[in-house]
Structure 1
Amino acid sequence: MLAADQEFTGRPWMDAIDVHHHILPDFYRDALEDIGIPTILPGVDKPSWSVDSSLTMMDRHGIRAAVVSIWPGVPPMAPKPAAAFARRVNEYLAGLAAANPGRFGAFATLPFPHMDAVVREFVYAVDTLGLDGAGLISNYGGLYVGDPAMDPLFAEAARRRSPLFVHPTVPPATDQPMFGLPASLYEFPFESVRVAAQLLYNRTLERFPGLPVILPHGGGGVAYYAGRLAAGGLISPPLADRLPADPIGSLQGLYFDVAMTGDPHALAALRSFAPASQILVGSDFPLMPESYTVGTGRFVMEHGGFSTEDLRGIDHANARVLFPRFNGQER
């Protein structure tokens, strides 16, 4: 590990590429309010955001670049307005990256659940606008990202080796008791498990080799549930035929960011399950306070048991493999 007086001094990171960085432009918030969506997540304080607030936070944390996403993306709409909404967002993202070279990349927003429009917009966003992959949510009205209906998008992303960043959202059950608590507090980790279960039993990563999928928050509950997910054939023998030859290895082929893993229990689970080559920096800015993000970074650096080489990978080298726009820009 790096000693406390080495390169990370005063900052949690040294030259990081943050793959879990939310932005909330005014036009996006206004558009949501115009169609009757007053907040991006019920029960959670509405965060404020500006380009300067991101850049200032990044400089304080030792983050050289952020691959940003607009969450939760396109609200439920008819095909044409959904496509127009996504295009407006993606053109904004491309402009943000162009105006701040070396500081921002971006995950495209796609007009789900309209799959033809989704694929068209993905191809345009990546090939024409130069965006870095796609930002998805775990389910679209009950259609989960691991569903075979997503295969056309998977095929285009795998062909380009474009990462898919899959952020959890509220599960689709309308009668689920909420206990007076926001769903993000306890449901989001299970949403990532649901995505992983589908990816595993549909052999998505095996059918689309080269498809990078990033699960935030240390993969949610995936590390804890991986062995259980791999045991489907013991519970129901026909499920064995749906599993890849190495179920745990397949799940370990996912990428995981470190957001919300800065405690002994979450980090221990992530560290024991995920190869260091699959771990990335994630701040969850501005949905989580900077003090929390700083603490997470320092805890990962100081208590993760990572080698110096591993820490360099987590900080930026692993992300540079996924995001070519940042190659050759190490400070």
Structure 2
Amino acid sequence: MSTPAGLIDVHHHAVPPLYAEALGDRKAIPGVDYPDWTPEQSLEVMDAHGIAAAVLSITAPGVTFLDGPDAPKMARRVNEYLAGLVREHPKRFGAFAILPLPDVAAARDELRYSMDELGLDGAGLLTSYGRRYLGDPEFEPLLAEIAERGAAVHVHPAAPPSRDLETFDLPASLYEFTFETTRTAASLLFNGVLDRLPDLRLILSHAGGTLPFLARRLTHGPTIGAYLKDRVPADVIGTLGRLHYDIAMSANEFALPALTRLAGAGRILYGSDYPFMPAAHTAENTAGFAAYDGWTEAERAEVGRANALRLLPALAARLAG
């Protein structure tokens, strides 16, 4: 198998200097070493692995470490920084706007500015804010506006909001991130958000966490608890199958068969997780993507490039220009 030319990486993080300075000594993700990053380093890794363009995003904790008006101010500065990189490298970088949740009003303002004025490619959300996951009714007006715009949303896990969980002194990103993605998807499912907003274009990180493995189990909600009878979607599997999934940290023989069975190759996108996963992992994940024998070569080209371009028309236009 060969790697299709011109991969589009939808899970690629930026660490703007102004953001890193504000974060200071705080751990962005508990237990995770914070990487050094420059745009030039990203371009070097991209060139080495056939990545034509990367859509940049800010990982956890977003701007949640800031209080009051400082959070939207930092989101604005970061989005303007990202927009500057896109202007400087229009055929190499796209960007998902960071939004200052849990302040929904401020997040809607920043969504409008980042898309209408800055021309960013979509929005980046975390799986939870405080103890509220994305299916919380408080967030639905924002999600409805995003859906109305037809914008893509990259959903990245955050550290679990509960500090009572036993994590065995292991980094949250080692395994809890997968459960956080599953939790936010379950909240969206059973709160009816995905039924009410069928056009919401969500990209779930890391092959959807544990969703491919648990998809059939989630259909048994009303069997386990009759009170869920009126809350379960009519077609849980079909609803999960219309979401999109990146394969950061997941392009391997264990994850890809289940994900492909759930979503089909038309809903899967390439991702590297650089620089929070190092260049060596980009090589490993790209090799796993190229070697997987469960796709035709046409499907591999969809996963590697075409699916992302369908979701991200502004990026597609820049690449075609």
Using structure 2 for the length normalisation, give the TM-score.
Answer: 0.95
Out of 18, 33, 39, the position equivalent to 2:9 is 18
Out of 19, 22, 30, the position equivalent to 1:28 is 19
- 2:123 is equivalent to residue 134 of structure 1: yes
Q: Distance in 2 between matches of 1:19 and 1:235?
A: 37
Aligned partners of 1:260 and 1:296 also within 8 Å:
yes
Residue aligning to 2:285: 296
Give the fraction of aligned pairs with identical amino acids, expressed as a percent.
46
SS in 1 for 2:215: helix
Out of 54, 58, 61, the position equivalent to 1:66 is 54
Residue aligning to 2:207: 218
- 2:34 is equivalent to residue 43 of structure 1: no
Aligned partners of 1:271 and 1:304 also within 8 Å:
no
Aligned partners of 1:233 and 1:239 also within 8 Å:
yes
Out of 103, 123, 134, the position equivalent to 1:145 is 134
Residue aligning to 1:273: 262
Out of 163, 183, 190, the position equivalent to 1:194 is 183
* 1:41-190 matched pairs, under 5 angstroms: 41-72=29-60, 73-190=62-179
Aligned partners of 1:21 and 1:286 also within 8 Å:
yes
Q: Distance in 1 between matches of 2:315 and 2:64?
A: 31
Q: Distance in 2 between matches of 1:96 and 1:291?
A: 24
Using structure 1 for the length normalisation, give the TM-score.
Answer: 0.92
SS in 2 for 1:107: strand
Q: Distance in 1 between matches of 2:123 and 2:239?
A: 21
What is the Cα-based RMSD across aligned positions, in Å? 1.6
Aligned partners of 2:247 and 2:271 also within 8 Å:
yes
Q: Which runs of 5+ in 1 are unaligned?
A: none
**Pairwise CA distance, 1:13:** 4.5
Q: How many residues align?
A: 319
Q: Which runs of 5+ in 2 are unaligned?
A: none
Aligned partners of 1:21 and 1:67 also within 8 Å:
yes
Query: CA 1:202–1:304 in structure 2 vs 1: closer, same or farther (change >3 Å)?
Result: farther
Aligned partners of 1:136 and 1:166 also within 8 Å:
yes
**Pairwise CA distance, 1:230:** 1.6
**Pairwise CA distance, 1:273:** 1.6
SS in 2 for 1:96: helix
Deviations 1:15-65 (Å, cap 9, x if unpaired)?
1111000011221111111xxx43312211121110100111111111111
- 2:303 is equivalent to residue 306 of structure 1: no
Q: Which amino acid aligns with 2:72?
A: A
Out of 216, 222, 225, the position equivalent to 1:227 is 216
**Pairwise CA distance, 1:330:** 6.1
